[in-house]
Structure 1
Amino acid sequence: MSINIQKVADGYLAQVTPPHGGDSAWEATEPLAIDALIKKLLALGCHQTDIGDAFYQADPHWLEQE
């Protein structure tokens, strides 16, 4: 029941489980850039604060990479 983001060599992978992202689970099938992943998570209905928290857990310096 969370947003789980993992930093990988080519970007970020993510997994979303309810209640985040509505009533269905979602998982990235390939690494995404920060901006693309944020857009996808917002489209799924995830809250900006939760997205930021998940990025921070995956990579405390994620904001410096934008």
Structure 2
Amino acid sequence: MVDGPDNIVLSILRKIDQRTERMADDLQDLKVRVTSVEEGLAGVNRRLDRVEMRIDRIERRLEIADVH
């Protein structure tokens, strides 16, 4: 039997479904990776905050801090 219009449509829909599933998997992977980058950036920001506090303290001890 030759593929009729119904079979062609079903075949196309299956391909679309497979591609959609792959895109959903890729999107999930991207979400995980972005979350990891955000967590890493938050850690860097915390470290920079601590360094800034230490520099402020050093400047006060050396009496070279700007008076605000």
Which TM-score applies when normalising by structure 2? 0.19
Larger helix proportion of the pair: 2
Larger strand proportion of the pair: 1
The structure with more radius of gyration: 2
